């Protein structure tokens, strides 16, 4: 079982590294504002582009209740060359704040439903995972020593 968990963790790190090298950023959908297109808990692949327009689902930073958050919403219209009005697909109203091009991290080019939950868990349980890895290494070392005797 420990080998399976370690293999899974290695796979996640490997895929994240490949995505990074290919110019993608990884984000997670933390709300239900983009349902039914993108479900809460999805892992998002985001790529930066020079031009954005209506219909594009973009990840951008905005201030909400004194905290800077990454939001994933659809551009509904362009106000100027570098200013956009956005809206979550499940929301009734457009976002109040105009999104500037400089705040956009990129366009969502793909997503893996529910895979973000795995990443949330990994992030919240990294101490547990380090202990699991240490236990696996100690067990492997003990087995190695038994074979030598």
CA distances from 92 to 34, 36, 88, 99, 106 (A): 11, 14, 8, 18, 24
pLDDT per position as a tens digit, 84-104? 999 999 999 999 999 999 999
Spot the catalytic one: 33, 42, 56, 103.
33
3-state DSSP call for residue 45? strand
Residue 56: predicted pLDDT: 97
Tokens of residue 137, six digits: 């290494």
| pTM summary value | 0.71
Residue 18: predicted pLDDT: 66
pLDDT per position as a tens digit, 23-82? 778 888 888 999 999 998 888 889 999 999 999 999 998 887 888 888 999 999 999 889
Spot the catalytic one: 56, 73, 124, 141.
73
Residue 95 falls in the annotated catalytic set: yes
Residue 103 falls in the annotated catalytic set: no
Residues 5 and 118: beta-carbon distance below 8 Å: no
């Amino acid at each position: 079982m420990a080998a399976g968990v370690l293999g899974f963790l290695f796979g996640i790190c490997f895929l994240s590294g490949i995505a990074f090298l290919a110019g993608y950023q990884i984000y997670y959908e933390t709300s239900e504002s983009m349902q039914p297109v993108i479900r809460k808990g999805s892992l998002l692949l985001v790529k930066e582009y020079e031009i954005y327009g209506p219909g594009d689902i973009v990840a951008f930073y905005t201030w909400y209740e004194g905290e800077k958050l990454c939001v994933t919403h659809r551009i509904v219209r362009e106000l100027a060359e570098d200013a956009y009005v956005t809206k979550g697909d499940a929301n009734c109203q457009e976002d109040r704040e105009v999104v500037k091009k400089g705040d956009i991290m990129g366009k969502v080019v793909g997503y893996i439903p529910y895979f973000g939950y795995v990443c949330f868990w990994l992030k919240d349980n990294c101490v547990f995972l380090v202990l699991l890895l240490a236990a696996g290494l100690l067990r492997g070392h003990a087995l190695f020593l038994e074979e030598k005797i």
